[in-house]
């Protein structure tokens, strides 16, 4: 298999599905049905191909693998350059695993413009995978921005009542950051003479330039994560997005920020990263405590989970900027775990939203009586979100905090309060939705999970437990790449032009 351009296949296979959907003809019902099936099969095949990546991945190497390089714009030294290392591999997998789940989750929920909807998701998959594979800034930027377009449409077309407001808020926030990143990429191009990412990663930028580049990248990634205080687009976007849109938003799009930090900010700009680490810690700790409290006050279940996402991503940003192997692996793991768990929680919300068409927590209650399977699935994901040991949520949070404690005990102390707060708002949510007696007839008539929903949740539960009980499958492949970055940081720390670090 090694001679096949696997990454290009994974990236562009969904486009093939798009082409197939586009040539569909016939009456509306048949087209919709065929579009669903094509989208499902395409995304499933893509997923299987991406598993080959995982199986063939050399876990001892920190280097980029499955590299593909082709001259594109030779005069400008811009190339088509793809490759994955232990860091990006799992984000590719996350994208390819969540897309078929989204397709299945939208099976009956989406009834209008099904064809366009499925096209949007397949294009989105291409953009996400391409972004994580890209090793050239121009390609990276194209995919990075490209992701916005289908997502903008998914929220704006298939969203809820205030979808236009949410879509614009989402678009403006994220675009504002991206523009600054584009400037940074231009600066790197001027400085390096090439837009190749691998070259840039090995380039030593002058400290003054590092500061500006770091801030420009930060503006873009912080919005994506999202970090406090640029998080307010997230609750609105989630609330208005259709269920599958929320799944991708929480599952993959939020990870683009964390991926950016760990791929670019830290290894490329080590001095500036060390200098700004206290800023990141502060914002992350505020995010954890502030948004956890805000989550407590929510009456809309999607908003509650959206705010909890911000808090959970706070652990990620702390972990990354500790620059310790434990912290960074924890952050990576937390992103993967959150990708599965928050996606699953949004699916859980979707299940009951599809039945009752309201997101108001108070309208439910006592669901355990008529939906025991649902109660069990929700319980597992809730516990993973709370970070119970044995679930995926624990490993990431724990490692990130272990790393944080090494660097700064105050950060670890304050961030660990998130452990208490997350338990409060999640258990409180669970109690209001699931426990108690049923008082309303429409709630009483709700049916338990159907087989299609079971098919979605069962593998996700399995993954959550697998990640919690045997996390080595995930920690091991990423170890060399993380160790490489840590070495790089250590080396930068030794060089004389790092005044900020010398003081510590």
Partner 1 sequence: MADLALPAVFLPLLGAIIAGLFGRAIGDRASQIVTCGCLGLAAVCGVVVFNDIAVWHHTATVPVFTWIDAGQLKLAWALKLDTLSAVMLAMVTVVSFVIHVYSVGYMAEDPSIPRFMAYLSLFTFFMLMLVTASNFVQMFFGWEGVGLASYLLIGFWYDRPSANAAAIKAFVVNRIGDFGFALGIFAVYYLFGTLDFAPVFGAAPAMAGKTFVFLGMHADALTVACILLFIGAMGKSAQIGLHTWLPDAMEGPTPVSALIHAATMVTAGVFMVCRLSPMFEYAPIALGFVVVIGGTTCVFAASVGIAQNDIKKVIAYSTCSQLGYMFFAAGVSAYQASMFHLITHAFFKALLFLSAGSVIHAMSGEQDMRKMGGLWKLIPITYVVMWIGSLALAGIPPFAGYFSKDMILEATYASGTEVGQYAFVLGCFAAFLTAFYSWRLLFLTFHGHSRADHDTLHHVHESPNVMLIPLYILAAGALVMGGLGYHWFVGEGAKEFWGNAIVVLPSHPGIAGAETVPGWVSALPLVAGLAGIATAWYAYIRQTGVPAAAARAFEPLYLFLLNKWYFDEIYNFIFVRPAFWLARVLWRRGDGMVIDGFGPDGISEVTGDLSVRASRLQSGYVFQYAFAMVIGVAIFVSWFLFWRSA
Residue 402 touching partner 1 (CB under 8 A): yes
Q: Which is nearer to partner 1, 294 or 345 (CB)?
A: 294
In 3D, which of 438, 452, 414, 339 has the Cα closest to residue 105?
Answer: 452
Residue 173 touching partner 1 (CB under 8 A): yes
Strand segments (E) across 241-280: none
Q: Which is nearer to partner 1, 276 or 333 (CB)?
A: 333
Q: Which is nearer to partner 1, 107 or 428 (CB)?
A: 428
Copy the structure tokens of residue 370: 């008529």
Q: Which is nearer to partner 1, 202 or 282 (CB)?
A: 282
Residue 282 touching partner 1 (CB under 8 A): no
Residue 450 touching partner 1 (CB under 8 A): no
For partner 1, the binding residue among 122, 151, 253, 412 (CB under 8 A) is 412
Phi/psi-derived region of residue 449, left when phi > 0, alpha when psi is between -120 and 50, beta in every other case: beta
In 3D, which of 352, 351, 333, 353 has the Cα closest to residue 341?
Answer: 333
Q: How far is the CB of 172 from partner 1 (least distance, A)?
A: 6
Measured CA to CA, the distance from residue 152 to residue 170 in angstroms comes to: 8
CB 425 within 8 A of CB 433: no
Q: How far is the CB of 368 from partner 1 (least distance, A)?
A: 6
In 3D, which of 233, 299, 271, 238 has the Cα closest to residue 433?
Answer: 299
For partner 1, the binding residue among 344, 395, 460, 485 (CB under 8 A) is 395
Measured CA to CA, the distance from residue 198 to residue 409 in angstroms comes to: 35
In angstroms, the Cα distances linking 165 to 154, 157, 161, 228, 241 are: 13, 12, 9, 20, 11
Query: Residue 363 carries which DSSP code?
Result: G
Residue 225 touching partner 1 (CB under 8 A): no
For residue 331, give the 3-state DSSP assignment. helix
Contacts of 4 (CB under 8 A, 6+ apart): none
Size of the site for partner 1 (CB under 8 A): 61
Residue 479 touching partner 1 (CB under 8 A): yes
x/- site string to partner 1, residues 128 to 167, per CB under 8 A? ----------------------------------------
Query: Residue 23 carries which DSSP code?
Result: T
Residue 405 touching partner 1 (CB under 8 A): yes
Q: How far is the CB of 204 from partner 1 (least distance, A)?
A: 25
Q: Which residues bind partner 1 (CB under 8 A)?
A: 168-169, 172-173, 229-230, 232-233, 235, 290, 293-298, 324-326, 329-330, 333, 366, 368, 383, 388-390, 395, 398-399, 401-406, 409-410, 412-413, 416-417, 419-420, 423-424, 427-428, 431, 434-437, 469-472, 475-476, 479
């Amino acid at each position: 298999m090694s001679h096949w351009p696997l990454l290009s296949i994974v990236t562009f296979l969904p486009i093939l599905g798009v082409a197939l959907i586009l040539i569909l003809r016939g009456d509306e019902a048949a087209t919709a049905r065929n579009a669903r099936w094509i989208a499902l099969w395409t995304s499933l095949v893509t997923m299987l191909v991406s598993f080959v990546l995982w199986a063939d991945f050399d876990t001892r190497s920190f280097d980029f693998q499955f590299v593909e390089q082709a001259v594109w714009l030779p005069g400008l030294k811009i190339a088509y350059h793809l490759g994955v290392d232990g860091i990006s591999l799992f984000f590719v997998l996350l994208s390819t695993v969540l897309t078929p789940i989204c397709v299945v989750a939208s099976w009956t929920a989406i009834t209008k413009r099904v064809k366009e909807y499925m096209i949007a998701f397949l294009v989105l998959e291409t953009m996400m995978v391409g972004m994580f594979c890209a090793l050239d800034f121009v390609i990276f930027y194209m995919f990075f921005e490209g992701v916005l377009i289908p997502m903008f449409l998914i929220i704006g077309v298939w969203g809820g009542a205030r979808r236009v407001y949410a879509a614009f808020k989402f678009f403006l926030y994220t675009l504002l950051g991206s523009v600054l990143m584009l400037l940074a990429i231009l600066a790197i191009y001027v400085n390096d003479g090439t837009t190749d990412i691998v070259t840039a990663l090995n380039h030593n930028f002058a400290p003054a330039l590092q500061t500006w580049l770091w801030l420009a990248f930060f503006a873009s990634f912080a919005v994506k994560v999202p970090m406090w205080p640029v998080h307010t687009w997230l609750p609105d976007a989630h609330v208005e997005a259709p269920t599958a849109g929320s799944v991708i938003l929480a599952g993959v799009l939020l990870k683009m920020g964390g991926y950016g930090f760990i791929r670019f900010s830290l290894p490329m700009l080590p001095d500036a990263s060390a200098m700004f680490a206290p800023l990141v810690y502060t914002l992350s700790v505020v995010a954890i405590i502030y948004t956890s409290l805000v989550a407590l006050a929510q009456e809309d279940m999607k908003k509650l989970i959206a705010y909890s996402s911000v808090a959970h991503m706070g652990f990620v940003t702390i972990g990354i900027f500790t620059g310790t192997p434990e912290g960074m692996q924890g952050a990576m793991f937390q992103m993967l775990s959150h990708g599965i768990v928050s996606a699953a929680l949004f699916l859980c919300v979707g299940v009951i939203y599809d039945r009752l068409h309201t997101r108001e927590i108070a309208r439910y209650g006592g669901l355990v009586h008529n939906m025991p399977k649902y109660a069990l699935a929700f319980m597992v994901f809730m516990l993973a979100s709370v970070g119970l040991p044995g679930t995926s949520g624990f490993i990431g949070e724990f490692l990130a905090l272990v790393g944080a404690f090494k660097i700064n005990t105050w950060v670890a102390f304050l961030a660990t309060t998130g452990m208490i707060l997350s338990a409060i708002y999640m258990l409180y949510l669970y109690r209001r939705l699931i426990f108690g007696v049923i008082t309303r007839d429409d709630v009483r008539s709700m049916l338990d999970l159907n087989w299609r929903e079971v098919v979605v949740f069962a593998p996700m539960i399995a993954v959550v437990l697998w990640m919690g009980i045997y996390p080595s499958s995930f920690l091991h492949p990423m170890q060399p790449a993380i160790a490489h970055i840590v070495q790089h940081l250590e080396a930068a720390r030794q060089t004389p032009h790092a005044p900020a670090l010398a003081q510590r």
